[in-house]
A and B are shown apart, each in its own frame.
Chain A
Amino acid sequence: MAYLQLRGIEKFFGEHRAIKGIDLTIQQGEFIVFVGPSGCGKSTLLRLIAGLENIDGGSLMLDGRDITDQPSSKRDLAMVFQSYALYPHMSVYENMSFALKLAKVDPAIVREKVERAAAILNLTTYLQRTPKELSGGQRQRVAIGRAIVRAPKVFLFDEPLSNLDAALRGQTRVEIAKLHRDLGATTIYVTHDQVEAMTLADRVVVLRDGLIEQVGTPLELYDKPANQFVAQFIGTPQMNVVPLQQLPAPVQQQAPAGAAGGAIGLRPENIAVRSTGTTPVSGQVDLVEALGAETLIYVSTPGGAQFVSRQNDRTGLRAGDAVSLDIDASQAHWFDPAGHVVAGQGA
């Protein structure tokens, strides 16, 4: 049975239709990630679920209850804000116990719950401090602790890692994953970082312009993107998408009929750089990025196409060298002029 169900959710800001009709079913215990470019509506959608904005159309059901018109305070959801939104005039203990105090829970039970959450998050020694005495990482943990203490039906995270520095981000990402494994709580997590999406999610929801582009497990999205947008959004470096007419004829001929006038999509690891003259696709090296564990080679062809190739071996190639590209058509994605995936010979 669906735990959280969105049906036809719509949101208007004045005349602007920000959320254009979202249908989504989330099972209990799932870790769902909303991902997409700026302005796609992922944060708005999260806020609609949280009750911080009014739903203009459609319905929202949680555990069998219709919460579409319920105020936030009654939805039994907890949110971790991007800026943490800790209460600056309260101690860490008071921040974490605030919701329980409002619910008039017995102080002894409150103490027990807060201390348990603090132990999980390594906050026990900071319980009496105020937010301004804490570092960014510690504040973030307090924000998470505030949510854990309540044991809500769903956890909502709004880009929680974006204010942390890179090292802390990686570390905290792992901690959040472990937390989900231990607590098993239903979670909705918003981010613009597709690495977080790929590593944390049970399923990923890719959003653009207020609509869902695709829902699936991270690897489903990687291997079988439904359209060009998802294909290029997931995966770093970006998938190479090149208009068919910029390719030499032998490659063009391999395209399925529906892709006429469209483009080919190839992951960097599916393009190999070989010595010049060995394949029908010739090109010139623009740039070599040696990252240590892998090497990226940027190549442009006389037809005007630009490719990135990824390989594990080091290379002696330099900018200006002439090369050939080995394109594995069996791994290619074919797109029609509108960006939809076309079933092809290799797909």
Chain B
Amino acid sequence: MTTRRRSSYPLGLLALRTVAAWGVALLLFFPLAWLLLTAFKTELQAIAVPPQLFFIPTLENFHEVQERSDYLLYAKNSVITSVLSTVVGLMLAAPAAYAMAFFKGKYTKDILMWMLSTKMMPAVGALVPIYVLAQKSHLLDTQLVLIIVFALSNLPIMVWMLYSHFKDIPREILEAARMDGATLWQEVRLVLLPLGMGGLASTGLLCLVLSWNEAFWSLNLSAAKAGTLATLIASYSSPEGLFWAKLSAASLMAIAPIVVFGWFSQKQLVQGLTFGAVK
């Protein structure tokens, strides 16, 4: 008996399934597709009734968004805060994850659980104190405060993910390096890092996505100077005049890179956000 896996259901059922799946997928994706289209329309085309499917695409919205609202500034803030908070997070999380994965102690499990529990506190619980602290130390509306807050919010997730990646590296490979005469630093540099690079990258990617999309803290702690793209988009909530096409263009630019990253980080997302509870 050959072991080639075929769907053992009748062909008609397969066709039905294909149609249904595509139908659901297209339906759910539709708002984003519409956003994509609208970004390339003129304002008038955007609000046309009935909605226009065919039109000549234009790039004017992208230009206008740049000029009017200093899009680049907000984009720069998003990039800087996401990237730096990821870097800071990794620098804090990696040693901790390494210690717990390879030097398992009596309290390792408790520490991991405790870190998990700090993520459980809703952000709103820390809103007032953080706001007051930021205000008192003149850090409101600065990149620094966002970097710190993003890094700390995501730290538990990063520690967990790195921990489970490091645990997948067989301890014996590191022991073999030790037997071969490697010092601790050589062990880390020549064996651990190459093997753990995948885990570091995917953890970093997840953190990048989470920081980029972070809206709660961005909206409350930043404004015109350090505002991220989330803040910029929020400012479109009640503007004047026709703005749908520009909103779409701005939104598209804000979400495109992350959505694409997301396509590549599905597995990490599941592991990271469920703290490994679902494999």
Contacts and interface: CB of A to CB of B under 8 A. Distances in A.
Physical contact A–B (CB less than 8 Å): yes
Interface of A: 14, 50-52, 71-74, 77-79, 81-83, 85-89, 98-99, 102-103, 146, 150
Query: What are the nearest 6 A-B pairs in CB distance?
Result: A99-B180, A85-B172, A85-B176, A73-B181, A72-B178, A89-B194
> What is the predominant secondary structure among interface residues of chain B facing chain A?
helix
Contacts of B179: 50-52, 72-73, 77-79, 99
B170 interface: yes
Contacts of B177: 87, 98
Interface residues of B, number: 18
B170 A85 contact: yes
Contacts of B69: none
Contact of A102 (B170, B172, B186, B194): B186
A88 B190 CA distance: 12
A74 to B, nearest CB: 8
Contacts of B194: 89
Contacts of A86: 173, 176
Contacts of B220: none
B175 interface: yes
B182 A87 contact: no
Contacts of A52: 175, 178-179
A99 B181 contact: yes
Contacts of B182: 73, 102
Contacts, number: 58
Given A74-B181, A81-B176, 18 more contacts: A14-B106, A50-B179, A72-B179, A73-B181, A73-B182, A78-B179, A79-B175, A81-B172, A83-B172, A85-B172, A85-B176, A86-B173, A86-B176, A87-B191, A88-B173, A98-B180, A102-B180, A102-B181
Interface in B57-115: 106
A50 B186 CA distance: 19
Interface in B146-167: none
B236 to A, nearest CB: 48
B183 interface: yes
Most buried by A among B181, B183, B191: B181
Chain A CB count within 10 A is highest, among B178, B183, B194, for B178
B116 interface: no
A79 B172 CA distance: 10
A81 B195 CA distance: 19
A33 B170 CA distance: 25
A99 B179 CA distance: 8
Nearest to A158: B172
B99 to A, nearest CB: 17
